[in-house]
Amino acid sequence: MALPPTVVFDLDGTLVDTAPDLISALNFILGREGLPPVPLHSARNMIGAGARKLIERGLELEGRAASTSEITRLTEDFIAYYAEHIADGSRPFDGLENALDELTTRGYRLAVCTNKLEWLSKLLLDRLGLSFHFSAICGADTFGVAKPDPAILQQTVARAGGNISSAIMVGDAGTDIGVARRAGVPIIGVEFGYTDVPIAELKPDRVIKHMSELRDAVESITSLPQSNQLK
């Protein structure tokens, strides 16, 4: 008996608009270091590669160089602050819960594959009442690799009880496109996430503007013969 298809989601910028709390935490760290805050609207596209990279990008904006050990210290402080404020302003993107319910009703298995730490990802989804939708929630520390390394997607699908040959990735940025392509998985790009390159320019298999379009995008892929899905 064939396993049901697995739809794997990125988290920040795909499932949840986390920018308000991430940038607030970044600005807490920058302010403590005597640096000016980063405006939310211009910092959204800095998100997506994990906390450490966000700290590095925030410092780079002010021309501030930092040692590896200093970045580590700042990242630890950032995570501690962020965990306390993880759902202050973060909210699911419009239409998300209906979209997840539609996919579940149609028999799809759902999972999360993110470059956020696993415990932070679970904490956020718990706070927002979303965790129950997912068979697996995996982060950059779950398997010791991060996107775009295909192993994180492959192992997330396996942990969810799915098969990589019938998986679909949903994401908002280049790391999501990269991990999907390297794993041989079709990718649906969302236009409302965090990326400095418009998602359509990265050539995902489908592009959606709103979560209400997700079910049709997924089913348009799963209705194709496997050999045609990435063409």
Catalytic residue numbers, as ranges: 10
DSSP letter (8 states) at residue 12: B
The token pair that represents 84 in the structure block: 């306390």
Picking from 111, 159, 164, 119, the residue whose alpha carbon sits closest to that of residue 139 is 119
The token pair that represents 34 in the structure block: 């005597």
Sign of the torsion angle spanned by Cα atoms 11, 12, 17, 23 = positive
Helices 51-61 and 68-84: angle between axes, nearest 10 degrees:
110
| Tally: H helices and E strands in the chain | 9, 8
